[in-house]
Structure 1
């Protein structure tokens, strides 16, 4: 891969400079003046060459990356992508688990939390049998907007105990998992060719994917020890405009931060001042959370998204939205137009699990396993700069001096442990701290899980300068 001295003339393009630069990038790639694999100038260098701000170049690079023309590698730069543009983010949303060897062993995967089987397999089989006895001619028809009301009522009951403000089944929108739910909200709320959405500067990669699919531009907002800063959000709104805010106040992914009530109230005040809609991601729901949700603080503008993937079964693909007041019908219409409603087998099986109480039993058993595994992780790594929450299924480790996140992740992989670097959560040209996220692996034995954590502890104690050559 080679560097380029590419220096476009923006005078030939109308409109804002960042869009003009994005047009120039497209033309240069299509006409062969920027070839596949060429490294583009760093943001600040190109900004100096053409007389614009670094933010202008960063926004243009982001558009090019979203469109598949460019690829960004944190720490290495931005490159012209392969000729066949790729859809989706550079990092896959769904992480394929490594195949075990002939002895049933392989790398211990701590990249994404793994649910333990605490009876889900049997519970699903039993539910399927019960549902099969109720199949009638109505299964031959497309699902209607009202046919899923028993499921919505069961989902509303499932949320009892969460501080979400007043709502009922009419403000529930079922979806194919949390990611699908976020896409539905964007489809409900976004307008224009390149709408602006805001997110924490370190954020779940699925936010970027959802924004890209809806042709939205993602703008990162600075964080501190309490989560997103309200003053930074206000400044971003004044500079960029914007329509939607993605936020994870209960268990920020990846940093584990729980946003205090005062900060939640500040964020809501900014959202009201700039008329932002808020997507509140609560898929990593922490048991026992007592703070009012953003939905409770601003029920007129918060779309609360959650799912059963982290507590019952990821394979069911059951997510749902608690919409702002009066927006349930609009949300369900959007779902109907997108995929004609959820399949009857799915809605009936999930309703059975919820109404029978089996889903709640499974959730409690899963949480008990997570609690034990989390204790094991804290005991193994607690001497380091570690953040976690009771009941949460991942931890955030800020690395000691001598380690870089990418290097540590590579060394861990070489030792048979897979983890995720902070780079994977940073937005385009954003700052990635020297940290890694470690998930709770409940899909392997206690012994293998403890051994994997011990491996990480040994690596942490021996920075690269101390490693054998």
Structure 2
């Protein structure tokens, strides 16, 4: 079934044309104007009819496809999906692989924490907790009951320049990803709100945004992070509500934003009434620069976790809310999951009060430092960006290599890597680059051999390889 005459009136929808067309598609499909199985006009035909660019139509078609409204078939065209759109996520946050069945692979896609005694520390803490169990463990956990742990988080963050922070400013979450979603749910309003972030960014941002029914727009970055002029232009164009950025350790490019740039970003956010999410889950050992939370405390949500410093298995994170917004953050958490599970919150509280958490953090940082040095020394003759204490580096590939080809070739050599396009937003352009993470969980000889394999491949782009 084909409908080549469908021609919506985009003037009735405010905002960018591609969002207007997406909304028109959504409404026409739900109203039955475009029944399941209807073949839509080609991108060029519809662009001609609507007097817009082909890119506008292409972008709208891709957004509608992501929502499950459309289905595209190579060689046949784009059709209205035969089934109702899925209500939940349409793709995994990351691709899981059973590396036990592939023991020859060295996984350098995401940082792996080294074993510095986490098991023994957790066991000792659980035994101490077990000695004090009482009837309270039979009841629901509460936000009020988490107050001592929130106070410990304030002490945990004493090596950051966050400005005045108290336990009342803190909300506890199930990891950093849950922290992002909590802020989205707390702040976003309207049918299709807009979130701004770096045009190369942690993929979890767009997945959390999809759950919140929000559109994500990428902002140009340079060697110091987000470009202020590009941010201001996007604010004027999109009417966004939230800005997400990583000023301390940009993921994936490993850049660090200077104080003047942070101040400019904060000033723009004030001018356009943006809420700021400052993602510091990849925090380095210490920072002498003021966080954006210190520059704009009235609008900045500072998100962190223990996943990169103690254990990713804990699924423990926190949000330092804007001044006066702590209760709003905790109420949003309460509506979502009441409070953290007692085994998790009591374990983390014991680890922090006993000093074990601090000792584990120092041990992880020390081992990461050794392995990062080996990685940088092994690849330092190439175009590499890195920071001391950060468990990944950014490598721009030599001429002749494409990121996808390099990743496939490295996998054939036994090394798993993450290419730049995994961090690019929809319609974003990714450079030929890789993020290479420190693998702290494998024996050092295998780690060093993996680094040497990467260096050997970088030195031999395809044009120089034997055929």
Q: TM-score, normalised by structure 2?
A: 0.91
Q: What residue number does 2:108 align with?
A: 110
Shift of 1:138: 1.2
- Structure 2 partner of 1:424: 422
Cα distance in 2, alignment partners of residues 60 and 266 from structure 1: 32
Q: In structure 2, which of residues 158, 168, 188 is the aligned counterpart of residue 160 of structure 1?
A: 158
Distance 2:78 2:427 in 1: 13
Per the TM alignment, residue 465 of structure 1 is displaced from its structure 2 partner at its CA by: 2.6
Displacement of 1:334: 0.6
Equivalent residues in 2 for 1:36-55, closer than 5 Å: 47=47, 50-53=50-53
Q: Is the 8 A contact 2:21 2:60 kept in 1?
A: yes
Cα 1:46–1:106 shift into 2, 3 Å:
farther
Note the 1:49-448 alignment, pairs <5 A: 50-53=50-53, 56-57=56-57, 59-61=59-61, 63-69=63-69, 87-88=88-89, 90=91, 92-101=92-101, 105-448=103-446
Equivalent pair of 2:70/2:79 in contact (CA under 8 Å):
yes
CA distance in 1, matches of 2:248, 2:201: 13
In structure 2, list runs of 5 or more residues that go unmatched: none
Post-superposition shift, 1:6? 6.9
SS, match of residue 370 in structure 1: helix
Distance change (3 Å), C-alpha of 1:45 and 1:396: farther
Q: In structure 1, how many angstroms separate the alpha carbons of the residues matched to 2:300 and 2:171?
A: 13
In the TM superposition, what is the alpha-carbon distance from 1:29 to its structure 2 partner?
A: 8.0
Q: 1:447 to 1:328 in 2, by over 3 A?
A: same
Inter-CA distance 455–170: structure 2 relative to 1 (3 Å threshold): same
Matched residues, number: 455
Instruction: Point out the more displaced range, 413-422 or 55-64.
Output: 55-64
State whether residues 98 and 107 of structure 1, in contact with CA within 8 Å, keep that contact through their aligned partners in structure 2.
Answer: no
Contact 2:37/2:81 (8 A) holds in 1: no
Cα distance in structure 1, aligned partners of 2:48 and 2:428: 19
Secondary structure of residue in 2 paired with 1:208? helix
Per-residue displacement from partner, 1:397-430 (whole Å, max 9, x unpaired)? 0000000111111111111111111111111101
Query: Does the 8 A contact of 1:7 with 1:49 survive in 2?
Result: no
The verdict on how the C-alpha distance between 1:295 and 1:55 changes in structure 2, with shifts beyond 3 A counting, is farther
- Change in 2 beyond 3 A, CA 1:25/1:162: same
Equivalent residue number for residue 7 of structure 2: 9
User: Would the aligned equivalents of 1:89 and 1:208 in 2 still touch at CA under 8 Å?
Assistant: no
Deviation at 1:99, TM superposition (A): 2.2
Q: Is the 8 A contact 1:98 1:109 kept in 2?
A: no
CA distance in 1, matches of 2:132, 2:80: 52
Counterpart for residue 22 of structure 1:
22
Q: Does 1:31 align with 2:36?
A: yes
Q: Is the 8 A contact 2:192 2:213 kept in 1?
A: yes
How many Å apart are 1:62 and its aligned residue? 5.2
Q: 3-state SS of the aligned residue for 1:173?
A: strand
- How far has the Cα of 1:133 moved from its partner? 1.1
Asked whether the equivalents of residues 278 and 303 of structure 2 are also in contact (C-alpha less than 8 Å), the reply is yes
| 8 A contact 1:7–1:50 mirrored in 2 | no
Q: Deviation per CA, 1:268-311: give whole Å up to 9, x if none.
A: 01000000000000000011221100000000000000000000
1:52 to partner: Cα distance: 1.3
Structure-2 separation of matches of 1:336 and 1:167: 21
Separation in 2, partners of 1:222, 1:331: 30
The change in CA–CA distance for 1:292 and 1:23 in structure 2 (over 3 A counts) is closer
Q: Tell me the distance in 1 between the aligned counterparts of 2:352 and 2:334.
A: 23
More deviation, 4-13/330-339: 4-13
Is residue 305–residue 320 contact of structure 1 (8 Å, CA) maintained in 2? Answer: yes
